[in-house]
Amino acid sequence: ESLSTYITPTDPNNFTISIVGTVEHSQQGQASSFDGGIAPVPEPATMLLFGTGLAGLAGVVRRKKK
């Protein structure tokens, strides 16, 4: 029984995953291909959320020290 997986990047936001295998008892090849896209993360919103979390942690640490 054999199974191979190939990941082919076409550009930074898209990729193709191909899984190819052979079923031993029938000797027939099976092939499947899945196309998926990666959604870009909006950086300003990510940085705002990260900054808010850091400010909240700093506030908690400051209160515990008093």
Q: 13: closest CA among 46, 42, 40?
A: 40
Q: What is the pLDDT of residue 50?
A: 92
pLDDT in tens, the chain (66 residues): 455 555 556 666 666 666 666 555 555 555 655 556 666 767 788 889 999 999 999 999 988 887
What residues make up the domain containing 52? 2-65
Q: What is the pLDDT of residue 44?
A: 82
User: Which pTM was predicted?
Assistant: 0.36
Q: Are 15 and 33 in contact (CB under 8 A)?
A: no
pLDDT of 66:
74
In the prediction, which pLDDT does 1 show? 43
Q: What is the pLDDT of residue 8?
A: 58
Q: How many domains does the chain have?
A: 1
